[in-house]
């Protein structure tokens, strides 16, 4: 049996390659044509199909785009790569990519969708120094972030609403220059018609309803999904009662936080 000939990682690479080959042949494409559609050489396509080259997240994401497989290849990559992303997060990201509205609060740091490359790299590099992830996993995370951020420019554009904790503006991640570019980036995003950024000031104190990451996704069929995470994993909640309870708290947060204009002034003065 094949499962006795290969270790688990190799078996997953074989599964990935076989699925890639199956879908390619079903469409009548050669390896050359698939390579052109994905932006890779036909040689790499051949190596991936034969499980002779490591699979990258970027390759998996592109395969899902080309074959319109809704995250199948990303999920295979996640298992293959042994959790270079927080457990539970890839599933959330698949729903995020389809959402028509994203509402998000995160304590202390700028949310991923709003991060500059330097800001994101500073956080990932710190995880490498702590031994939490490898250099390769750092690169995979940054590649994945770039893919997620395409949501901002998607057509039709989803509505994106963020409430930033004031601590995200005060904490100088990556040093003064990196932080200055991050704040400028927030200014530029805040004036987009589909992006709303508010800042929850320290003065909200105990009135702040959340002490954890909270994201609410409104899907094309108007289904509401709720997501949060701890240090070890992410949690995607489909229970209507929980999602609606978080939505009520989020509405209260929107009311209590300064307006979009006042929040923009806070960002500019930070």
pLDDT digits (tens, 9 = 90+) for 243-269: 999 999 999 999 999 999 999 999 999
Six-digit token string for 157: 């554009």
Share of residues in the chain with pLDDT > 70 (%) = 90
For residue 208, what pLDDT is reported? 93
Mean pLDDT of 205-225: 94
* Nearest-angstrom CA–CA distance, 45 and 21: 9
What does the pLDDT look like over 26-44, one tens digit per residue?
A: 999 999 999 999 999 999 9
DSSP 3-state of 33: helix
With contact defined as beta carbons under 8 Å apart, do 96 and 102 qualify? yes
Residues found in the chain: 270
Higher pLDDT, 106 or 4: 106
> Taking residues 70-95, what's their average pLDDT?
69
A 10 A CB-CB count for 114 gives 23
Ordered domains of the chain (ranges, CATH): 2-81 (1.10.260.40), 89-269 (3.30.870)
Burial class, 240, CB count within 10 angstroms (exposed 0-12 / middle 13-18 / buried 19+)? exposed
φ, ψ for residue 131, nearest 5 deg = 85, 10
User: Whole-angstrom Cα distance, residue 221 to residue 92?
Assistant: 17
Q: Please tell me the pTM assigned to this model.
A: 0.70
CB atoms near residue 25 (< 10 Å): 11
pLDDT at 192: 94
Residues 6+ apart with CB under 8 A from 250: 103, 105, 163, 209, 210, 214, 216
156-186: pLDDT as tens digits: 889 999 999 999 999 999 999 999 999 999 9
């Amino acid at each position: 049996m094949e499962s006795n000939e290969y270790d688990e990682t190799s078996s997953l690479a074989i599964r990935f390659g076989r699925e890639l080959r199956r879908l390619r042949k079903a469409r009548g494409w050669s390896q050359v044509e698939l390579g052109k559609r994905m932006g890779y050489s036909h040689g790499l396509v051949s190596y991936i199909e034969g499980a002779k080259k490591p699979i990258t997240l970027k390759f998996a994401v592109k395969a899902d785009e080309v074959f319109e497989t809704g995250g199948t290849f990303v999920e295979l990559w996640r298992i293959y790569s042994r959790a270079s992303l927080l457990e539970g997060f890839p599933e959330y990201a698949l729903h995020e990519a389809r959402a028509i509205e994203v509402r998000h609060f995160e304590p202390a740091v700028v949310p991923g969708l709003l991060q500059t490359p330097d800001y994101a790299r500073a956080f990932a590099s710190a995880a490498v120094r702590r031994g939490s992830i490898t250099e390769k996993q750092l690169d995979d995370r940054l590649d994945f972030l770039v893919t997620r951020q395409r949501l901002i420019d998607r057509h039709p554009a989803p509505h994106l609403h963020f409430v930033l904790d004031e601590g995200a503006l005060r904490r100088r991640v990556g040093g003064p220059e990196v932080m200055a570019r991050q704040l400028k980036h927030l200014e530029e995003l805040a004036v987009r018609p589909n992006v709303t950024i508010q800042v929850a000031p320290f003065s909200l104190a105990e009135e702040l309803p959340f002490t954890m990451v909270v994201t609410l996704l409104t899907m094309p069929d108007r289904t509401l999904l709720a997501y949060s995470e701890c240090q070890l994993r992410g949690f995607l909640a489909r229970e209507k009662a929980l999602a609606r309870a978080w939505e009520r708290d989020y509405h209260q947060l929107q009311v209590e936080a300064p307006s979009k204009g006042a929040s923009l002034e806070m960002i500019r003065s930070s």
